[in-house]
Structure 1
């Protein structure tokens, strides 16, 4: 069985730790280590490494606290600095976890013809990193860029945790007909595992096999917890009329998804878990 030495940045991060656990379970022969980019010695100690997975980033949720220079320094400059160091040290593959944010939020359905028009500092700095990474790729140095949509999973920070808490407390939730691309953490980890196992280069847009409707997600969370919840069409219409143009409404109930064709990868075998299976796994885990 192939043995790789893999280094993952983001020692305290959710994705980095999930990748280490998942890849280690898939192939116990791999040597996997997590590093913090705040540790200057560990950051540049990349000798005898085969794959570097870069998950560290200054995220958009804290955008108001930082300047655009801060975003470019962390998400762009540091990424390129690491990639160049990786190349010098003979690392075969550099996996960069980018974001759906490179497309902005104006497009409803993102496909191969969609323009890259990021609107946030986060998205702009991620796109800048992608463009610079392409310049240093070579036959012996594979660049793999992954643009996941919203990630959800057990203990995953972000919107899912808030929706889960709400689903267990409320008895009524607005019924909407939105469509969003999301990806369950294990499906994303499986994608990365396959990408490094095959040394695949290029830009990828993995997502779950099913588009997710916010109302249905909340309903499934309630069902997984044996909690009765009613989806109200009236409440859904009320919300759309009064706050339909607000950023909060668009973030929770808006439409934003990748086309199915854009996410095709090796027969989509990375989509191990369906939406319902993922919800049941997450919620049963939270009850333990």
Structure 2
């Protein structure tokens, strides 16, 4: 049995990782969950000044899922500086202290934004592609990756980097939750003519890969992309999500260029780009190197998400 330190255990992804680790028989330390009578310290924030030594004794693996996350409408004056404090300085402080105390493996939950924002038809991102982050969040994740790779070369600690695409599942928030709300209410949406391709990853599939990487020997010092291994258009996603919710999909066939032009006029260009453009990933390396397949098919993962959404609405 491993002793795993998990950051971000109160978050959307972190809560699911914690449940899976416990079911897998791992002993888990959660620095952001204060527990009575614990002899471990409690960490309420993460930056370059955070001291982790009191938590890392005996730990064999760190799963670092905590982060300052991407937001569409940023409000701070210098977003990159704020992202760096948590995502770069905080990550590298934790990793440096982990290596010093003999932690064997550090799993870093990065982002597909390290690769870039969009792909052209038939040219999915791979883990071997040159990184091309465009926003402050993606840049901070890429800088953290570089620091971790340097640390892995200088110490005996393995580093595993996982770059998820859009994650959905029970408890999902932000734009995916908004989409389900609109579909459930039956409002017509002008998204019935989109022929893009998007890779998504269900929460169960992402967590399954993370837990596998805790002790898989082939994962050492690798970068993995992860998805459901089925790419669909935004229109198809809406249709299949509506079906999972038991609702008709009322989609109007508005051309993509009209949507993007209109969105730009009202300051929603970023939202329209996410809806209309493509972002695909090739997970061939992840499957072959780890002998891994996503355990939950896309439609099944959508049904799980829809069931949770509807149950929460009834409470």
Pairwise same-fold verdict (TM > 0.5): yes
Post-superposition shift, 1:230?
3.4
Q: Which residue of 1 aligns with 2:62?
A: 52
Q: Which residue of 1 aligns with 2:252?
A: 232
| Contact 2:168 2:202 (C-alpha < 8 Å) held by counterparts | yes
Residue 243, structure 1, aligned to residue 262, structure 2: yes
Q: Label 1:267 to 1:141 Cα distance change in 2 as closer, same or farther (>3 A).
A: closer
Superposed counterparts of 1:171-186, under 5 Å: 171-173=187-189, 174-175=191-192, 176-186=194-204
SS of structure 1 residue aligned to 2:20? helix
Aligned to 1:140, which of 145, 156, 167?
156
Q: Which moved more, 1:34-43 or 1:72-81?
A: 34-43
Post-superposition shift, 1:51?
0.7
Cα deviations by residue, 1:1-33 (Å, 9 ceiling, x for unpaired): xx11111011431111110012222x12x1112
Residue 125, structure 1, aligned to residue 140, structure 2: yes
Residue 35, structure 1, aligned to residue 31, structure 2: yes
Q: Where does structure 1 lack aligned partners over 5 or more consecutive residues?
A: none
| Contact 1:130 1:145 (C-alpha < 8 Å) held by counterparts | yes
Cα deviations by residue, 1:92-114 (Å, 9 ceiling, x for unpaired): 10001111111222543323563
| Contact 2:60 2:105 (C-alpha < 8 Å) held by counterparts | yes
Q: Label 1:253 to 1:32 Cα distance change in 2 as closer, same or farther (>3 A).
A: same
Aligned to 2:300, which of 258, 271, 277?
277
Q: Where does structure 2 lack aligned partners over 5 or more consecutive residues?
A: 33-42
Q: Label 1:112 to 1:7 Cα distance change in 2 as closer, same or farther (>3 A).
A: closer
Q: Label 1:260 to 1:47 Cα distance change in 2 as closer, same or farther (>3 A).
A: closer
Q: Which residue of 2 aligns with 1:64?
A: 75
Q: Label 1:35 to 1:92 Cα distance change in 2 as closer, same or farther (>3 A).
A: same
Q: CA RMSD in A?
A: 2.3
Q: Which moved more, 1:148-157 or 1:216-225?
A: 216-225
| Contact 2:61 2:107 (C-alpha < 8 Å) held by counterparts | yes
Cα deviations by residue, 1:93-148 (Å, 9 ceiling, x for unpaired): 00011111112225433235633121111111111111111111157311001111
Distance in 1 of aligned mates of 2:53 and 2:186: 46
Post-superposition shift, 1:266?
4.4
Aligned to 1:163, which of 176, 179, 182?
179
Post-superposition shift, 1:215?
1.6
| Contact 2:110 2:141 (C-alpha < 8 Å) held by counterparts | yes
SS of structure 2 residue aligned to 1:230? coil
SS of structure 2 residue aligned to 1:257? coil
Q: How many pairs does the alignment contain?
A: 283
SS of structure 1 residue aligned to 2:75? helix
Distance in 2 of aligned mates of 1:73 and 1:244: 32
Superposed counterparts of 1:13-24, under 5 Å: 13-24=11-22
